[in-house]
């Protein structure tokens, strides 16, 4: 049996499927890069977003950007090699323990680390919004840029420590390019499933679901508070003193946006957690693993869409950036016309916000 058929999964058994898969991967790279670079441009280029919440969104965008820069291109290279040369690169047939400079030794921890960063960042965003909703008077004193920056640094260090821990603490765990998921994955070298390696791999879903569970609970509490506040506002004419102790409209809107982020990430991450548990127990689940890993990967371009739909100020700033870029590159426009058009655009955005 040819090597390509032996390593064939649902996506890549025919030439048409191979082409579609490569097109999908390349499109995903472009979407991830465009969306997250746009998010970073909005956050760092707009004073309104120079806030703890803005810093957390920037951290989330950097994690997603790393997936588009490092993780997906390796899969594209392997799949294009398979399509053109009818065989996969030699390194894909070996694991990181048997090859000195295996690409997956770097790509695997990057993907796992960025996934963990995303989870911890969404958790921190939820905490930040819950304080703004539940304790609005304490928001400015509790949530500061310095504290947020420190938490972001710990989030990245802790996430990547967890990502490399399977290789550090167990010789039975390696990284390999999986022919089912078409990605770099952790793998047990022995079919006996040693208990130590089993426990280490289960740290990932245990840690992830603990944080996601906490995030969901906090979101439910925040959204319940928002609903109760909305009901009270309909029946009572709030005094100025009362309104000072209530969350602002922007805080409520932001809390709902973070709730949407949590829901989207939980939906994309759950299949991969189920696969990890099943894989540790000895189930290959080839077709399921392909969809699980790539559903999670597509999450890297969802956040900018959620921001654009839920956050009017973010949407207006994106519109401003895109129109400004178009005006600056249009050869038929004079500098005076560009200035006038940008001024009109700024006036329109101020009216919207």
pLDDT band at 63 (very low <50, low <70, confident <90, very high): very high
Look up the pTM and report it.
Answer: 0.84
Percent of the chain exceeding pLDDT 70 equals: 82
Per-residue model confidence as pLDDT tens digits over 237-276 = 544 444 445 677 777 788 888 889 999 998 998 898 888 7
Nearest to 179 by CA among 8, 37, 350: 8
Share of the chain above pLDDT 90, in %: 37
- The residue among 176, 204, 179, 175 whose CA lies nearest residue 290 is 179
Distance of CA 81 to the CA centre of its chain: 28
What pLDDT was estimated at residue 343?
Answer: 57
Residue 181 reports pLDDT greater than 60: yes
Q: Which two tokens stand for residue 35?
A: 């969306």
Coil, strand or helix at 178: strand
Q: How confident is the model at residue 351 (pLDDT cuts 50, 70, 90)?
A: low
pLDDT tens-digit readout, 335-348: 545 555 555 555 55
Q: Break the chain into its structural domains and give their ranges.
A: 15-190+197-239+248-325
> Is the CA virtual torsion 168, 173, 174, 178 positive or negative?
negative
Backbone angles phi, psi at 188, to 5 degrees: -85, 125
Domain 15-190+197-239+248-325 CATH (choose: 2.102.10.10, 1.20.1070.10, 3.30.70.2080, 3.40.50.300): 1.20.1070.10
> What does the block give as tokens for 196?
């130590």
Q: What is the pLDDT of residue 190?
A: 62
Tokens 């939980």 -> residue: 266
pLDDT higher than 80, residue 34: yes
Q: What is the mean pLDDT of the chain?
A: 82
Using the structure block, give the residue that is written with the tokens 């077709």: 287
Q: For the chain, how long is the longest CA-to-CA vector? A: 78
CB 79 within 8 A of CB 343: no
């Amino acid at each position: 049996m040819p090597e390509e058929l032996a390593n064939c999964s649902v996506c890549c058994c025919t030439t048409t499927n191979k082409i579609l898969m490569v097109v999908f991967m390349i499109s995903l790279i472009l979407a991830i890069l465009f969306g997250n670079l746009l998010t970073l441009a909005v956050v760092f280029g707009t004073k309104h977003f120079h806030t703890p919440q803005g810093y957390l969104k920037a951290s989330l965008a950097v994690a997603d950007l790393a997936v588009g820069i490092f993780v997906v291109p390796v899969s594209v290279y392997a799949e294009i090699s398979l399509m053109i040369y009818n065989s996969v690169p030699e390194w894909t047939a070996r694991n990181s323990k048997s090859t000195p400079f295996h690409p997956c030794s770097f790509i695997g921890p990057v993907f796992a680390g960025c996934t963990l960063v995303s989870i911890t960042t969404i958790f921190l965003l939820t905490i930040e919004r819950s304080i703004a909703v539940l304790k609005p008077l304490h928001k400015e004193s509790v949530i500061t840029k310095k504290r947020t920056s420190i938490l972001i640094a710990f989030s990245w260090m802790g996430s990547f420590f967890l990502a490399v821990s399977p290789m550090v603490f167990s010789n039975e765990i390696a990284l390999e390019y999986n022919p089912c998921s078409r990605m770099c994955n952790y793998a047990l070298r022995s079919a006996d499933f040693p208990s130590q390696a089993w426990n280490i791999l289960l740290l990932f879903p245990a840690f992830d679901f603990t944080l996601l569970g906490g995030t969901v609970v906090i979101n439910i509490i925040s959204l319940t508070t928002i609903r109760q506040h909305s009901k009270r506002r309909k029946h009572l004419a709030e005094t100025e003193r009362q309104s000072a102790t209530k969350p602002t409209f922007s805080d409520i809107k932001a809390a709902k946006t973070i709730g949407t982020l949590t829901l989207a990430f939980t939906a994309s991450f759950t299949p991969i957690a189920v696969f990890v548990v099943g894989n540790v127990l000895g189930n290959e689940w080839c077709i399921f693993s392909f969809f699980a890993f790539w559903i999670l990967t597509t999450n890297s371009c969802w956040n900018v869409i959620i921001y654009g739909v839920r956050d009017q100020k973010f949407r207006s700033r994106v519109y401003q950036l895109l129109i400004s870029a178009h005006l600056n590159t249009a050869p038929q426009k004079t500098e005076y016309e560009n200035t006038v058009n940008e001024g009109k655009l700024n006036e329109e955005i101020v009216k919207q916000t």
